[in-house]
Copies of this chain bind each other. A is one copy, B any other.
Amino acid sequence: MAAKSFEELNTCTSDAVLFTSDEPFHFVRGGQIDHVQVRYETYGTLNEAKTNAIFICHALTGDAHAAGIRQGDTKPGWWDSMIGSGKPVDTDRFFVICPNILGGCQGTTGPSSLNPATGQSYGLEFPILDMQDFVTVHRRLVAHLGIDKLLAVMGGSLGGMQVLQWALSAPQDMHAALIIAASSRLSAQNIAFSAVAREAIMRDAGFSDGHYLEKDTSPDTGLSIARMMAHITYTSEGALWNKFGRDPQNEDLTPGFGVDFAIESYLQHQAETFLDRFDALSYIYLSRVMDYFDAFSSPQASAKIAEHPIPTLVCSFTSDWRFSSSQSKRMVARLERAGVPVTYRDIDAGVGHDSFLLSIPQYEDLIRAFLNRSFEEVVR
């Protein structure tokens, strides 16, 4: 399948809302753009006091469509098991906001957006991103919505990293933070996998130095390789074994170099559907932010949250080897050293990093109880 076209990358579907910030945006690591467009969705109703808002930060390849089924779609949003009426993030009591991230490819300004200065896509001229840039855009969106203080900020994986950065840099913005399947910094192994994915994309001749949209090429091979490899790291050996084992895709194994094992077919399918919905430049820009993120590297990193400690939930999953439980425990220790009241749970789940996207009773009970406590304290 072909990668998304320029038009697709810059078109907003009917259910999402666009917010355009016309204040010039200065990137932490240098560079600026004059307008930032943010695509976001909301679920539930904002109460009059504007105290019931929960802000959702999505993961590397997520988007604004977190919950519900859009007209014409068959699949619900990426966190539909978590967000909705009667669900842990209960839209009967909470107002939920989920934007596409800065640098993304689902309606928010990113490297494949139009650069007004050139009339072409930004490509690799788009400024290098930092975790704090995401937070700055999120804060502008919250201000635009007229909300003084969020009830909670919540996210998994790269989303959890955004929550951590936000909580450290502006804890006064939220009553509570939920950091799920995340890390305060990537391990050397994490960076290594990230580097291989980036190489696969950037060394694909179809990448055309980042101007594939204008040149009508596409780094489909590189992006497919990156996605297949990443997908292995999102799951666990046990989960792959339970689901596929060494089963043939068809009746019998027929040795050769084609797709023969069921696991191979599954990976191919993952890659194909990914090409339809994701952009190679967004992939390298967003994954690179994770490589450089090191939340507690400065001695002053915890100063603000130490002055303004907020209830924080940290949650990991036992079989997650991409962002392992030990990475969450390190985060917990750093937060507790700053005086933050942390609820930590290592959920027994077998499907690896992607566990955070699944419906797991103990996990859902945990989120529900944590959010309801905030609701009782703040809203009721």
Taking the full assembly, how many copies of this chain does it contain?
2
* Interface of A (DSSP majority class): helix
Chain B, Cβ-Cβ closest to A198:
B257
Partner of A188, one of B224, B240, B288: B240
CA distance A188 to B225 in the complex (A): 17
Q: How far is the CB of A79 from chain B (nearest CB, A)?
A: 25
Interface stretch among A64-72, A201-209, A336-344? A201-209
Chain B residues with CB under 8 Å of A255's CB are 29, 128, 130, 288, 292
Instruction: Say yes or no: B241 contacts A187, CB within 8 Å.
Output: yes
Q: How far is the CB of A9 from chain B (nearest CB, A)?
A: 20
With A191-B246, A263-B195 as known contacts, state yes or no: A256 contacts B128, CB within 8 Å: yes
Partner of A246, one of B185, B195, B202, B288: B185
Chain B, Cβ-Cβ closest to A324:
B237
Selected A-B contacts with CB under 8 Å, 6 pairs? A191-B261, A198-B257, A200-B221, A203-B224, A225-B225, A255-B292
A128-B255, A203-B224 known; 19 new pairs, CB 8 Å cut-off, are A128-B256, A187-B237, A188-B246, A188-B261, A189-B240, A189-B241, A192-B228, A193-B229, A193-B232, A195-B228, A195-B263, A195-B264, A196-B229, A196-B232, A199-B224, A200-B225, A203-B221, A204-B221, A237-B324
